[in-house]
């Protein structure tokens, strides 16, 4: 029998998973774009209220741009639908609030989208070299023969010594060209991009272990010591039992070796110092050099998740009352037994007479008003009066209602004085109506007091309001203020 049925079953399970559900969603582009805008390596959690507002704003922006968006109502409803699809998960915060974070399925789907949208060759020298080197390294690790292991190490040492001697004797040292560096950079980015998803899967595995332990506690079918022992054993062996856990264990080894970590940082800086890095954006270079922070942040998040699980476990054990739980279980079982006895003689539509409430209530007040669905009904839609809206105001009309126009007034006054006006008042009266508003007199006083116009003699001026009415004012004598100019 072929392996096709087994492969089909495996692929069907993958197809029904949350990651492919996001990839195959008709709104995949919209959802991934919003996730990428909101979440980042620096901000892995977003407060629930803030995310609701952000999602609603981004969806409205996309709709205004002509894109189709999910019709789920407000941002909270959209986030809840994404949470039910296992793309978001809600986690408690230390201050009592709640936040959203991406699930490992969402991170995997985003990585698939990146791989599909990234322009790169499917096969390259860098990728093949990585595969060949990895195969050789693991072949050496898998060889139990001591002589074969020593021979492989001797061959590697001889090759390195020969290369060192060639360079010392004056041989050329050729740096990789831009194309090869681009290929290697793309392969490294692929590997680095997988780390957040691996760390997130470790966190989710810890959550599953913790939830199973709480369920076992509540079932009260096993001794509490056995349940706690299973929890501690599962947590201790998580790193060696799963692929994500092994990645986490490797990150621990790297972060625990300061010399190795410093060499890792130096290698990252050496790569971006190559001329090919000029074609990268500033953000790409910064993210690549800060790859060690991805390891540190993932380690910190997993450890925080372990600590929160331990704290919640301690709180549950301190508040758990096994006596009350057993009493409730006994009561329910006795009711079930009595019901079985009664059903042996009961006929259809028979009822059991019982008191629904005790004779004395242990509460001080009963509610007198209850929920009315009619009061929660949405308000009636407003009438569309867009056809009756007034014309938009013109800029000139708005300016006529504003403050003084200093530049235009000064130019008009200077032209009037040059044309023969004998005083500032005569020059003002010669201005057009739009420059003779009453507010222009304040501008006139400002210009005169700062020495930009001469107004040693007063006079009567005729001002024109924007509505066309006129009013006369007596212009005082104004002298220039003493300034440092």
Per-residue burial over 55-83, b if 16 or more Cβ lie within 10 Å, else e, is: bbebbeebeeeeeebbebeebbebbbebe
What is 359-397 written as a DSSP string?
SS-S-S---S----GGGGSPPPPPP--GGGPPPPPPHHH
One digit per residue, the tens of pLDDT, for the chain of length 485 reads 566 777 777 777 767 788 888 888 888 888 988 998 898 877 888 999 999 999 988 888 888 888 888 876 688 888 888 988 889 988 888 787 889 998 888 888 888 877 666 655 555 666 677 777 777 777 777 777 888 888 888 888 998 898 888 888 887 777 777 777 877 887 787 777 777 777 777 777 777 777 777 776 666 666 666 666 776 666 666 656 666 566 667 667 767 777 887 888 888 888 888 888 888 888 888 888 888 787 777 777 777 777 777 777 776 666 655 666 667 777 888 888 888 888 888 887 888 777 666 666 666 777 777 777 777 788 888 888 888 888 888 887 777 778 888 888 888 888 888 887 777 888 888 888 888 888 888 888 877 776 656 555 667 889 988 888 899 988 777 654 434 44
Residue 414, token pair as written in the block: 């200077």
DSSP state of 471: E
CATH among 1.20.58, 1.10.10, 1.10.3470, 2.60.120 for 4-117? 1.10.10
Determine the Cα–Cα distance for residues 344 and 440; give it in Å rounded to an integer.
Answer: 101
Q: Give the residue range(s) of CATH 1.10.10 domains in the chain.
A: 4-117
């Amino acid at each position: 029998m072929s392996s096709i049925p087994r492969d089909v079953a495996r692929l069907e399970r993958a197809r029904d998973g949350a990651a492919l559900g996001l990839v195959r969603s008709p709104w995949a582009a919209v959802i991934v774009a919003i996730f990428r805008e909101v979440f980042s390596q620096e901000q892995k959690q977003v407060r629930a209220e803030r995310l609701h507002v952000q999602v609603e704003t981004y969806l409205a922006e996309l709709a205004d741009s002509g894109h189709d968006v999910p019709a789920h109502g407000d941002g909270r409803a959209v986030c809840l639908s994404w949470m039910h699809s296992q793309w978001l998960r809600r986690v408690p915060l230390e201050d009592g609030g709640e936040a959203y974070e991406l699930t490992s399925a969402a991170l995997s789907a985003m990585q698939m989208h990146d791989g599909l949208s990234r322009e790169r060759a499917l096969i390259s020298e860098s990728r093949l070299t990585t595969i060949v080197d990895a195969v050789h390294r693991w072949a050496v690790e898998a060889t139990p023969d001591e002589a074969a292991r020593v021979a492989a190490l001797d061959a590697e040492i001889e090759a390195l010594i020969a290369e060192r001697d060639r360079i010392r004797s004056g041989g050329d040292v050729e740096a990789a060209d831009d194309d090869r560096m681009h290929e290697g950079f793309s392969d490294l980015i692929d590997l680095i991009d997988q780390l957040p998803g691996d760390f997130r899967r470790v966190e989710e595995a810890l959550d599953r272990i913790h939830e199973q332990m709480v369920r076992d506690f509540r079932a009260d079918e096993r001794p509490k010591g056995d349940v706690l022992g299973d929890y501690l054993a599962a947590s201790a062996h998580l790193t060696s039992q799963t692929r994500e856990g092994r990645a986490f264990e490797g990150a621990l080894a790297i972060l625990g070796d300061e010399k190795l970590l410093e060499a890792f940082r130096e290698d990252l800086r050496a790569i971006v110092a190559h001329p090919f890095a000029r074609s990268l954006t500033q953000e790409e270079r910064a993210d690549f050099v800060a790859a060690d922070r991805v390891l540190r942040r993932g380690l910190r998040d997993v450890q925080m998740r372990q600590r929160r699980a331990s704290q919640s476990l301690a709180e549950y054990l301190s508040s758990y009352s096994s006596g009350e739980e057993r009493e409730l279980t006994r009561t329910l079982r006795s009711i079930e037994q009595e019901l079985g006895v009664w059903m042996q003689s009961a006929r259809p539509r028979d009822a059991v007479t019982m008191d629904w409430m005790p004779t004395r209530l242990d509460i001080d007040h009963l509610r007198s008003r209850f929920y009315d669905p009619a009061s929660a009904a949405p308000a009636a839609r407003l009438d569309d009066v867009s056809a009756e809206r007034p014309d938009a105001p013109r800029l000139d009309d708005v300016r006529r209602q504003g403050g003084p126009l200093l530049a235009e007034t000064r130019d008009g006054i200077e032209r009037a004085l040059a044309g023969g006006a004998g005083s500032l008042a005569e020059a003002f009266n010669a201005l057009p109506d739009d420059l003779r508003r009453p507010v222009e007199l304040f501008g006139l006083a400002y210009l005169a007091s700062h020495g930009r116009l001469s107004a040693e003699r007063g006079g009567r001026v005729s001002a024109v309001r924007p509505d066309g009415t006129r009013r006369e004012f007596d212009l005082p004598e104004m002298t220039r203020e003493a300034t440092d100019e």
